[in-house]
Amino acid sequence: MTGPARGTPGPTRTVDLDGFRFPLGTETLGLSWQPRERRTGTLNLKSCELQHPWSDRLVRSELAALPLAETIAYPFQDRALDALGAYHGLDSAHVLLTAGSDNGIGLVVDALVRPVGRLLLQEPAFEAWRHYAELRGVRVTGVPGVTGAPPTADPDPLLDALRDAPGPTVAAVTNPGSPSGLLYPPSTMRRFAGTARDLGHLLVIDEAYGDFVHTSHAPLVAEFPNVVVVHSYSKAFALAGLRIAALLVHPALREHLGRFRPENAVGAPGVALLERLAPQRERWQEIWRDVRAVRQEFTDRVLSTHPGWHALQPGANFVTFWSPDPATADAARDHLAAHRVRIRSLSDLPGLRGCFRVSLADRPTMERVARLLDAVADRPRPRVNAPAAPRQAARHGERPY
């Protein structure tokens, strides 16, 4: 399947601009657009930005050291690409910068998914995948990625979908899962990559939270020409405000993707900071280790009050909790919102009924959030009385179950 011929007009709708009428495409109908809303005085533990005092100090120091020319002039990417290549263990010819992972996903859909017209999307997944696919008129087949209660990662549906796909297809998988926090081991990811390659499919791996759990799929890019990795420095390097990410790809795919000119959307401060921050791997690893420690302390504290809850492992710079009472997810979200703390209920997502996600901040903040969660109670489950044992079984000391 291919897209429409170049220049062929699609369906339109007419918009009235105060008496001036003009045709617009229909692809945005049904899609939402909600600019970020400033919420003064509210703690945001919904967006999963890296919030840690050590990363604040590191980024502040490097930002203050930027020469004026590196913030106001058009950026040159060569040194930053060399630094990122070394960071990922790849030649810089494998690295293409984009304005955040959202922009990278849109580029993948435009340049790689749209020509074949099919996207296998393991869900739950980042909302941008379906958004950009619908905007481009691409058919999406949702594939379950979790199963059970509490949820666990399940690779089999995606493997089956790859085998059943009728022709060249793009498959997208998130590892570690977002927003679940569940992680596939390297052996499973190699199985995804090899199966896709053998059947003529591209595999796109969204690893936005990989650094927090010491997971990198860059080795797969070096081994499998059909693997594309979306890597977010906005998350890992606490640069959410600068919107900076990369696609790690085969050089021939990088050449094709580069013709869409994503570098024009990447600002000079982000490029300059990457050049300085990427070589400081040991400092970042120290920060990520402490983020994991904060996560474990917060998880233990919450589960000590709610032993019936379950934390999905290994998480990232967030914790996803599951409760056997599906109403608890919304109750936790609403209770914290009443105390000006934003978290996310996940109950409306495939396979995550009863789950809610809390991103991490410093230790005093997380202790305050844990105390707030103390007040969230599951609904009591109705007691089911077992039927009385038959008299004869009881007389002989037998048990009916």
What burial class does residue 376 get, using C-beta atoms within 10 Å of its C-beta: 0-12 exposed, 13-18 middle, 19+ buried?
buried
What is the model's pTM? Answer: 0.90
The C-alpha angle 44, 36, 173, rounded to 5 degrees, equals 80
Predicted confidence (pLDDT) per residue in 59-113, tens digit: 999 999 999 999 999 999 999 999 999 999 999 999 999 999 999 999 999 999 9
Average pLDDT, the chain: 91
Query: What tokens appear for 260 in the block?
Result: 């869409």
**Among 16, 202, 174, CA closest to 101:** 174
pLDDT band at 27 (very low <50, low <70, confident <90, very high): confident
Kindly tell me if the per-residue pLDDT of 5 is higher than 60.
Answer: no
Decide: 45 and 343 in contact? Cβ < 8 Å.
yes
Q: Tell me the pairing of strands 344-345 and 355-359.
A: antiparallel
Q: Which residues face 321 on adjacent strands?
A: 311, 356
Task: Please compute the mean of the pLDDT values over residues 310-335 and round it to a whole number.
Answer: 97
Task: Please compute the mean of the pLDDT values over residues 284-311 and round it to a whole number.
Answer: 98
Lowest mean pLDDT across 20-34, 107-121, 377-391: 377-391
pLDDT band at 183 (very low <50, low <70, confident <90, very high): very high
Kindly tell me if the per-residue pLDDT of 384 is higher than 80.
Answer: no
Q: What is the pLDDT of residue 7?
A: 58
**Among 137, 189, 178, CA closest to 47:** 178
CA distance 261 to 252: 15
CA distance 395 to 112: 73
Query: What tokens appear for 261 in the block?
Result: 């000119």
Instruction: Please report where in the chains the tokens 């037998």 appear, as a residue.
Output: 398
